[in-house]
Structure 1
Amino acid sequence: MSQSMRKTILITGASSGLGEGMAREFAARGRNLALCARRTDRLEQLKTELEAKYPASKVSIKALDVNDHDAVFTVFKEFKAEFGTLDRVIVNAGMGKGASLGTGYFYANVQTAQTNFVAAIAQCEAALEIFREQNSGHLVTISSISALRGMPRAMTVYAATKAGLLSLTEGIRADLIKSRSAIKTSCILPGYIRSEINEKVKNTPFMIDNETGCKLLVKAIEKEPVQAYVPGWPWALIGFLMKRLPLKLVMKLG
């Protein structure tokens, strides 16, 4: 199935930030949307806005806390039943709480680990059960440029979860290659895109606004790459350097 045929797209964490921005971009392209997040009031507003602006798009919303793993499977199956097929699932829900390890913030670090990685496993499992049954689909995981190296302070566990997601996506792809499956996977590594998760972060180099970032994310996802840095410039170059430079120098890049 070519990407132009990916009609129905499920996005988790769709009530704010990158999820909300990507929903707007896909609606503008006439896609049907299965949107889920914890905050249904925000989803209701988004659904109303998108249906008024893009009547060709069917928008369905459901409450979902991705840390309720049983609910992940249930909600994905309900969306599949409603739309008939799910053509693309974007594993986007995430959080960025945390602090240096050993400073009394274990509760925040473990919450980030559970939401960004363990819950992502649940989402990938639920998506792939549906895709395997259909023998088609595009699984997209939203990782981060921080996945490439260990990061200090509030980023330590966050970066580790994003590295885990990058590795998980590649492992899934290895599995699909072995079984000659038609299912596609893409792992997207955004650079600094201004969204609610990082709105308090100051003086970040190469930060772009949410709308621009989401336009570029959707453009990248539509190409169905195995892996992509968004925006490509300067992050492809920075990514190349990050993987090779000593850690002391990498810390100066961010």
Structure 2
Amino acid sequence: MPVPPPLRQRILITGASAGLGREMARAWAARGRDLALCARRPDALERLRDELLAATPSAVVSLHVVDVADHEAVDAAVDDAAAALGGLDRVVVNAGVAGGDSLGLDGAEANRTTARTNFLGAVHQAESALRVFRPAGAGHLVFISSMSALRGMGGAMNVYSATKAGVSALAEGLRSDLVGTGIAVTAVHPGYVRTEMASHFPRMLMASDPDRATRAIVAAVEREPARAYVPALPWAALAWPMRLMPLGLYRRVAG
């Protein structure tokens, strides 16, 4: 008797209009996944949808305009996406910004925006996703964190790295809460990637191009690990040295 084909996986991605979010959408569409793409810019989302459908006419793509700092808008977008796709199997908490400056200078508003978007926005997305996953007893919640979550960083990276540390801690706490529920939680820690968002970072050590980084992220997420450092070379090898390095040396290396 032939084995039936697997059901099409339904994936929601926030921050899908640019950077890693857009690249993940391209990669998963090519794998035959159904997608709910969320971002603030409708024009960019529409261009991406048209591109995906041109490349993969069988793809199912729904679009949802949302600012992840608005919890009611996030709730509505996740509910609408679940209705459009007939449910959700994976939610990728990816939306983020990287503005700001060292505290006490001229970057206060940009620092607050970074904190609201990256951390509070992640809380909103996780709350909404789990209201879908918990009744189903299944789902995969993915947080796109950063290697900068492993250590505090100075200057323009200070608030950004702090928000990513919070995202990683949120993921770990949820993983503990959700043991035995059928819901998986993954925290992905990419190294530097040459995207528009990262273009103002003062240092880009061992940066990857978006294509290489996305291949590593998608491959890791498909395995559903607790955490992943990507691309594995060099970042998986550097995770523990980064944590253990004396602050003075770390500051000279990473800023």
TM-score, with structure 2 as normaliser: 0.95
1:231 and 1:6 map into 2 onto residues whose CA distance is 27
Among candidates 158, 168, 171, match of residue 170 of structure 2 = 168
For 1:186-197, list aligned pairs within 5 A.
Answer: 186-197=186-197
Q: 1:215 to 1:32 in 2, by over 3 A?
A: same
Q: 1:220 to 1:81 in 2, by over 3 A?
A: same
Q: CA deviation at 1:82?
A: 1.4
**Equivalent residue number for residue 181 of structure 2:** 181
AA partner of residue 136 (structure 1): A
Q: CA deviation at 1:102?
A: 1.1
User: Where in structure 2 are there 5+ consecutive unaligned residues?
Assistant: 1-5
Q: CA deviation at 1:6?
A: 6.4
**Equivalent residue number for residue 3 of structure 2:** none
Q: For 2:185, what is the secondary structure of its paired residue?
A: strand
Q: 1:244 to 1:6 in 2, by over 3 A?
A: farther
Q: CA RMSD in A?
A: 1.3
1:151 and 1:237 map into 2 onto residues whose CA distance is 20
**Equivalent residue number for residue 10 of structure 2:** 8
**Equivalent residue number for residue 133 of structure 1:** 135
1:128-179 CA distances to partner (integer Å, 9 max, x unpaired)? 11000111100000000000011000111100000000000000011011xx
Q: Is the 8 A contact 2:156 2:201 kept in 1?
A: no
Q: 1:214 to 1:182 in 2, by over 3 A?
A: same
Q: For 1:199, what is the secondary structure of its paired residue?
A: helix
Q: CA deviation at 1:202?
A: 6.1
**Equivalent residue number for residue 253 of structure 2:** 253
Q: For 2:87, what is the secondary structure of its paired residue?
A: coil
User: Where in structure 1 are there 5+ consecutive unaligned residues?
Assistant: none
1:3-30 CA distances to partner (integer Å, 9 max, x unpaired)? x756110000000000000000001101
1:236 and 1:106 map into 2 onto residues whose CA distance is 33
Q: Is the 8 A contact 1:6 1:87 kept in 2?
A: no
TM-score, with structure 1 as normaliser: 0.95
1:167 and 1:203 map into 2 onto residues whose CA distance is 25
1:201 and 1:164 map into 2 onto residues whose CA distance is 20
2:7 and 2:176 map into 1 onto residues whose CA distance is 24
Among candidates 19, 22, 33, match of residue 24 of structure 2 = 22
**Equivalent residue number for residue 148 of structure 1:** 150
**Equivalent residue number for residue 232 of structure 1:** 232
Q: Is the 8 A contact 1:135 1:182 kept in 2?
A: yes
Q: Is the 8 A contact 2:151 2:161 kept in 1?
A: yes
Q: State the identity as a percent.
A: 49
**Equivalent residue number for residue 72 of structure 2:** 70
AA partner of residue 10 (structure 2): T
